[in-house]
Structure 1
Amino acid sequence: MIRPFLTLLLIAATLPLHAKVGEWRTLRDEQGNALMVRFEGIQDDRYLLRRQKDGRLFEVAPGLLPDGERTRFEKEASDLNRELEMLRKTVGKPLFAGTPFEVRDASEIAKSLGLRPESKTKHSTSWRLYADSTYRLFGARPYSVALYADASGHPTNLSAVFANKGDFGSTAGQGEEHFTGGTEATIKSLAAAMERDEQAIEKAISSALGEAETQRYGEGKSRRTVKRWDWNGHSLLLSSEENEYVSLSIVPLELAEAGGKTAKVRDSEIKQRLAADVTRDPNGDVYLSQVPMVNQGPKGYCVPATFERAMRTMGITADMYLLAMVGETSIGGGTSVQKLLENVRSQVYRKGRRPKDEKVKRLRIRDVKKYIDDGVPVMWTMRSLNEYNSVATKNTQRRKKVTDWSDWAATIAEETAELVESEQVQANHHICMIVGYNEATGELAVSDSWGPSYERRWVPLGLANWVSQGGLFMILP
């Protein structure tokens, strides 16, 4: 929420007329106390100012300013509008406005970019688009554009990923279809595409905002060198990791100033939040209702996408593309669970959380119940076979009409017994999440990183064991 400035804070200023847009400026109150502020746009015919000491945004009506100070703000507003028009031309989409991301309605930004809803929980919202070959941002084709917002609906990060080893040349389909197809890309063709995209994006942004500065950004294994431009409370960060990806992130200026290091969520706060997110229905269903969805898209990123979901549930900022990089993912996808787990341990520990893995020979309700009851999702290695997916989808729909749950338990047990007598096929190796259980009916709630329609499907325990590979991975508070 933006708060109005008190009139007494806007009596006089002590900065010359040649001050640059975005510089900190000194204002003084009636008692002569200095207040450092920065101009950050216009909203509803009011100036937006950021207070340096705590980073809070305030608004002030131009009529409250002395004539000289109003002239200075008018000059900054004029410069801002000129740069805004230049940015809009280089972006190719109506992405920017005269106010910082953090006070805008994220849903409006998503709509302007053609992004589709991906996830909505009490704690965050996200939108994503896997763009076709005609879509352009900053003169290049992004494969994925994702927008994240906080609980209040204000944007926290926009991430566009251009040529990258997961999407580039992939012939896989979306959802369950990603087990078919492969990739037509090579390291050589990927490198050429990355170079082309990086040059196009840098040229487009520099034409509006000048030359970039470079800095180190991120934490742990995902720390990298980025090219950075600052504008009106935003930082635009261009990253190119050799044979990995080209990405552009737009984040609040303060996050860039902190090198991408985010604050740790307190243990007490995360435990309280996790407990509140456990839903218990009258029929015995117990499940996690606030796990963020990530759609891995047309590539084999089930491992990094699932880890991102688990980390974000635990209050840790994560991105599947960065996780794919540290997990040494191959072109088109395919990441080792163990390798990724090794490389994210330090990041998990740094945020005060604990990674844990178990190997179970036969999966039981009690193996996951203790974690689900505490609000912790369980990552599970399995084989996503066609028969399994058919039952998971059909049973989830059939459950909506069930009135006799004892009869339902007997029915699915009989159906499962017939199916699991068939030969086990070693194919479609996958990782997903177990996010719930029903002890009375003997079912598990399973969530795949394939978009909203796969958020929670109910699977008989016998069927889960038929496809299980026995690996369980958790991030604990």
Structure 2
Amino acid sequence: MLAPTAARSQDASKEDIAKAFSNAIAKGEIDCSLDKIGAVPGIFSLKPDTLDELFAVPEGVKVEKNPYFSWMTKSRHRAYFMRQPFGNLSVDLTIFGGEVPVEDATLDFVDGKLNGVSVSLFNRGDSGDIDPSEFKRRFTLAGKKMSEQLGVRPRQRKANPTQGLLSEGWTWISEKGMAILEHNPEANMGRPEFLRLKIAPRDAKGAFAAAFQDRAAAVRVSDLPKNVIRKGSEVLVGDIPMVDQGPKGYCVVATAQRLFEYYGIPADQHQLAQVANADADSGTNPIVMAEALGKIDYRFKTRFKIIGMRTNYGFNEIDERNMTVGDRVDYKGFLKAIRDNIDDGVPLLWGLVLGMVPEEPPIALQAGGGHMRMIIGYDDKEEKVVFSDSWGAGHEKKFMTYDNAFEATLGLFVITPTVK
């Protein structure tokens, strides 16, 4: 196994490093220390180019994709480290001198500067159950490291469900930066679901800034229209964060995470999956989609509305409180809902059947079945919806004709912040 550039011995020859790396890849397992991205305050000088250099593959080795991490957007606004980047390769992610395993890590950049780091030190969806003593060890060690690096005592933070704050733990705020170490409240009773470390500079923006506040959302509904971009005949909601739901990921919670980050609500798909009790079947039919979104909405104190769902009677309005079928939503009503919400700066959560109708660019032939994606815009001149999948870079912006979109739709949903 071989660690990335940042941790390699300077004495080893380039040929030896390249050979060892190639052998590790062939065996299907490589090491990756994330100590550099957990070091405060040095991490805050990190730029996208520097990250590429720190985690570059050895010189002389040709690979189709960097196995250590991937950029979630072509603009390099978000980098993502994961344990299983490819089906035949496992990456042993660790932090704090190899003492704590890492499930995944996300680095966000704004205007070329690091805006924050989010590190999953445990999540039950990926790791399975964990012994409470091991959970406590990871929590204690990570907390000790943050106290040492930031030079301040932490402040305890309790969950506040009435405000949509569903995690608890400790926060550190100093001149050097900020950190929060959080978990689900039930972890203290021996039922850990996740353990997450977030590190951010004092001038962090968006969801990273919101993570240190005592309210659920960082934006107001009245601010959202400012994010609407009109370019030619296209009308788009800009600045939608990207995630990669991964091989085990659930499209419903991955799409919800992107929406929540857009609203400045600090929650990742591991936490959302726990809240919604979601699994890989959550995107297979509109009722399961609606139930998962309803649970997320209730716990995070947002506003959930079902615009329409496919039923035995056609595409109909649904009362989200008791799931009763209402009036039929016709083609014009479908398009009006899209236009009205996009004009207000509100992306729509869109459940549909993959592979049923053409889309641009074409989807893989083997892709099919129920799926959730996000509608981020429309184009009346071309008569197309603009949408995005939670599959990482290259999936930020796609198109489908209005007719085909309506035909393939299983459900259309909206979640908005409660702060006006």
- Which TM bucket (shorter chain)? 0.5 to 0.7
Tell me whether 1:191 sits opposite 2:123 in the alignment.
Answer: no
Q: 1:233 aligns with which of 177, 182, 198?
A: 177
Q: What SS does structure 1 have at the residue aligned with 2:248?
A: coil
Contact kept? 1:167, 1:332, Cα under 8 Å: no
What does residue range 241-320 of structure 1 map to in structure 2 within 5 Å?
241=187, 242=191, 244-251=193-200, 261=215, 264-271=218-225, 273-275=226-228, 278-281=229-232, 284-320=233-269
The one-letter code sitting in structure 2 at the alignment partner of 1:475 is: T
- Structure-2 change in CA distance of 1:367 and 1:203 (3 Å): closer
Contact kept? 1:164, 1:194, Cα under 8 Å: no
Q: Which runs of 5+ in 1 are unaligned?
A: 1-90, 169-189, 397-426
Tell me whether 1:99 sits opposite 2:41 in the alignment.
Answer: yes
What's the offset of the Cα at 1:475? 2.3
Q: What SS does structure 2 have at the residue aligned with 1:136?
A: strand
The one-letter code sitting in structure 1 at the alignment partner of 2:106 is: A
What's the offset of the Cα at 1:471? 2.9
Q: What SS does structure 2 have at the residue aligned with 1:95?
A: helix
Distance across 2 between alignment mates of 1:92 and 1:307: 27
What's the offset of the Cα at 1:347? 3.8
Q: 1:42-94 CA distances to partner (integer Å, 9 max, x unpaired)?
A: xxxxxxxxxxxxxxxxxxxxxxxxxxxxxxxxxxxxxxxxxxxxxxxxx7522
Match of 2:359 in 1: 392
Q: 1:86-138 CA distances to partner (integer Å, 9 max, x unpaired)?
A: xxxxx75222556365x5345367444654322478xx932212233422223
What's the offset of the Cα at 1:302? 1.4
The one-letter code sitting in structure 2 at the alignment partner of 1:233 is: G
Match of 1:125 in 2: 77
Q: 1:134 aligns with which of 92, 98, 107?
A: 92
Tell me whether 1:379 sits opposite 2:349 in the alignment.
Answer: yes
Distance across 2 between alignment mates of 1:327 and 1:126: 25
Contact kept? 2:46, 2:114, Cα under 8 Å: yes
Distance across 2 between alignment mates of 1:257 and 1:437: 32
Alpha-carbon RMSD across the aligned residues, in angstroms, is: 4.0
Distance across 1 between alignment mates of 2:146 and 2:339: 54
What's the offset of the Cα at 1:329? 2.3
What's the offset of the Cα at 1:393? 4.3
What's the offset of the Cα at 1:262? 6.8
The one-letter code sitting in structure 2 at the alignment partner of 1:143 is: E
Contact kept? 1:323, 1:340, Cα under 8 Å: no
Q: What SS does structure 2 have at the residue aligned with 1:192?
A: coil
Distance across 2 between alignment mates of 1:345 and 1:133: 36
What's the offset of the Cα at 1:239? 2.9
The one-letter code sitting in structure 2 at the alignment partner of 1:319 is: D
Q: How many percent identity over aligned positions?
A: 22
The one-letter code sitting in structure 2 at the alignment partner of 1:157 is: G
Q: 1:451-476 CA distances to partner (integer Å, 9 max, x unpaired)?
A: 12121221133332342113332427
What does residue range 10-25 of structure 1 map to in structure 2 within 5 Å?
none
Q: 2:123 aligns with which of 160, 164, 175?
A: 164
Distance across 2 between alignment mates of 1:162 and 1:357: 35
Distance across 1 between alignment mates of 2:156 and 2:251: 31
Match of 1:442 in 2: 383
Match of 1:9 in 2: none
Match of 1:341 in 2: 294
Contact kept? 1:292, 1:313, Cα under 8 Å: yes
Q: What SS does structure 2 have at the residue aligned with 1:452?
A: coil
Q: TM-score, normalised by structure 1?
A: 0.56
What's the offset of the Cα at 1:303? 1.4
Q: TM-score, normalised by structure 2?
A: 0.62
Distance across 2 between alignment mates of 1:314 and 1:98: 27
Contact kept? 1:436, 1:445, Cα under 8 Å: yes
What's the offset of the Cα at 1:158? 1.5
Q: Which runs of 5+ in 2 are unaligned?
A: 1-32, 56-67, 84-89, 204-208, 310-314, 316-329
What's the offset of the Cα at 1:146? 0.7
What's the offset of the Cα at 1:450? 0.9
- Structure-2 change in CA distance of 1:291 and 1:438 (3 Å): same
Q: 1:307-335 CA distances to partner (integer Å, 9 max, x unpaired)?
A: 22223333444422222222122489777
